[in-house]
């Protein structure tokens, strides 16, 4: 855990723009360009990167649908049927993904590469910040679901609240996923997937 006002405050999810030099130890040796063809990029890494891409795409698609509702270019009922199950899926899957990382992957990887331990503390801290964002999304989702069955003038306000919440969430999620990949994939390329028991 990092203290919001402690020495790592500059590396807070909302403030950092990537990893500082001491946490770029392995990404400097294994830049993104070498990942796709590296022999140590195994099935587990590809699956995990695929999950991240799914979260990025789904967040983007939810935002774009919410923007369409806000602009009045999609019928409310069609939106409701498309949007509500997908945001529920997004919230559940992301929550589960973070739990596996916090309880299984991060401790294993910290033991594998203790020099990057501070990075995993920061990522765990990100999960707490993102969890607060998930609760805000859940609340906005509840407000939107109620508005969709009420008078039409309420829909625009609820859609605007949802778009704002999703947009802020997307920015933070991208930062987190990019940095997480930059920390973890180089460890797996360096040591092989045995580092995760894969």
Between 130 and 148, name the residue whose CB sits nearer to Fe ion.
130
The least CB distance from residue 52 to Fe ion, in Å, is: 6
The least CB distance from residue 127 to Fe ion, in Å, is: 6
Measured CA to CA, the distance from residue 103 to residue 100 in angstroms comes to 5
Task: Choose one: 5-13, 14-22, 57-65, 97-105; the region binding Fe ion (CB under 5 A).
Answer: 97-105
The least CB distance from residue 97 to Fe ion, in Å, is: 6
The least CB distance from residue 91 to Fe ion, in Å, is: 15
What residue ranges in the chain does DSSP mark as E strands? none
Task: Choose one: 73-81, 112-120, 135-143, 172-180; the region binding Fe ion (CB under 5 A).
Answer: 172-180
Other beta carbons within 10 Å of 16: 16
Write the secondary structure of 93-136 as one string of H (helix), E (strand) and C (coil).
HHHHHHHHHHHHHHHHHHHHCHHHHHHHHHHHHHHHHHHHHHHH
Measured CA to CA, the distance from residue 121 to residue 106 in angstroms comes to 9
The least CB distance from residue 106 to Fe ion, in Å, is: 8
Measured CA to CA, the distance from residue 165 to residue 163 in angstroms comes to 5
Task: Choose one: 34-42, 76-84, 102-110, 176-184; the region binding Fe ion (CB under 5 A).
Answer: 176-184
Task: Choose one: 73-81, 85-93, 158-166, 177-185; the region binding Fe ion (CB under 5 A).
Answer: 177-185
Please give the residues from 27 up to 66 whose contact with Fe ion meets the rule CB under 5 A: none
Q: How far is C-alpha 62 from the chain's CA centre?
A: 14
Judged by the rule CB under 5 A, the positions of this chain that interact with Fe ion are: 101, 180
């Amino acid at each position: 855990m990092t203290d919001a006002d402690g020495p790592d405050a500059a590396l807070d999810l909302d403030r950092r723009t990537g990893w500082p030099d001491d946490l770029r130890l392995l990404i400097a040796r294994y830049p993104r360009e070498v990942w796709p063809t590296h022999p140590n990029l195994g099935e587990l890494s590809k699956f995990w990167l695929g999950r991240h891409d799914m979260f990025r795409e789904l967040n983007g698609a939810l935002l774009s649908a919410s923007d369409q509702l806000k602009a009045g270019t999609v019928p409310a009922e069609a939106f409701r049927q498309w949007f509500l199950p997908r945001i529920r899926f997004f919230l559940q899957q992301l929550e589960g993904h973070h739990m596996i990382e916090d309880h299984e992957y991060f401790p294993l990887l910290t033991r594998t590469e203790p020099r990057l331990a501070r990075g995993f503390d920061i990522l765990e801290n990100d999960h707490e910040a993102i969890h607060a964002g998930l609760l805000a999304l859940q609340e906005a989702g509840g407000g939107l679901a109620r508005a969709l069955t009420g008078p039409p003038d309420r829909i625009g306000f609820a859609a605007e609240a949802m778009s704002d919440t999703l947009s802020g969430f997307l920015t933070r999620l991208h930062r987190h996923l990019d940095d997480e990949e930059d920390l973890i994939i180089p460890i797996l390329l360096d040591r092989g997937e045995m580092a995760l028991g894969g």
